[in-house]
Amino acid sequence: MTSSDTPLRVAIILIGNELLSGKIQDENGHYATRRLRALGASVTRVSIIPDVQADIVDEVQRCLRSNDVVITSGGVGPTHDDITLECIAEALGVDCYLEPQLEALINRYFGDRVTPAHMRMATIPRGSALLEAGENTWPIVHTESVYVLPGVPEIFRAKFEALAERLRRGQWYLRSIYLNVDEGAIAALLLELERDHGVSIGSYPKWRGTDYRVRVTVEARSPDQVNAAIAEAAQQLDPTVIVRVDDPLGTTD
């Protein structure tokens, strides 16, 4: 049992040479990051790695060591560079097997045109579970804490939404305070607020097109923490530098 005050730790691994050769700009990492934050999670890292067995195995093992959940994107098609499923099996120390339900789906879809390459998509790590994915007939393969999603953005998003509620735990609260001051002048105060109130502070300077010079964000798992830190900031700052404070309290979404 984990309290909802402890955010779910999630790592995202984006797999594909095309992302590292600049051919394709990833969309899935930011999509999942933003949605996971709204679901109360902490995304601890996003890695873009190539279709290389050693890299994938190593990254999955490394991410599993310090996260509750790992989400992968890409490398689940029929071609020679689609090796995500076999690498996850290796990372977990299990073998792969031809899963009958997936095999039947592939045979139904491809009929006479089925090739051994297609069957690689149905060859999954021993111990995997299949999650229904709403409208889509192809299920989400997951194994222990690893969810294996396809790289094509529209399918990635549909699959992500199909499993999103399983990942919801607690909530982040956020308020911002907008200041007309140089970041360097408030650095000590921000550190103090973070330490005294157990909140996460972000500091975002802007140079153009805004009526403020720094936006300071205050985030925590409880509204009280956020409000207390904002109140202290407002008290300690020179009132003339405060442009405005976000009110009421928002969530990170």
Residue 225 within binding range of a copy of itself, rule CB under 8 A: no
Structure tokens at 251: 């969530």
Is position 137 an interface residue for a copy of itself (rule: CB under 8 A)? no
Q: Pick from 1, 3, 23, 65 the residue near a copy of itself by CB under 8 A.
A: 23
Binding of a copy of itself at residue 71 (CB under 8 A)? Answer: no
Count of residues of this chain found to bind a copy of itself when the rule CB under 8 A is applied: 62
Q: Is 240 in the site for a copy of itself (CB under 8 A)?
A: no
The reply on whether position 46 binds a copy of itself by CB under 8 A is: yes
34 binds a copy of itself (CB under 8 A): yes
Among 36, 56, 57, 70, binds a copy of itself (CB under 8 A): 36
252 touches a copy of itself (CB under 8 A)? yes
50 binds a copy of itself (CB under 8 A): yes
Residue span binding a copy of itself (CB under 8 A) among the ranges 47-55, 126-134, 232-240, 243-251: 47-55
Binding site residues, a copy of itself, CB under 8 A:
17-26, 29-30, 33-38, 42-50, 55, 77-81, 110, 113-118, 120, 152, 172, 182-188, 190-191, 194, 200-205, 217, 219, 252
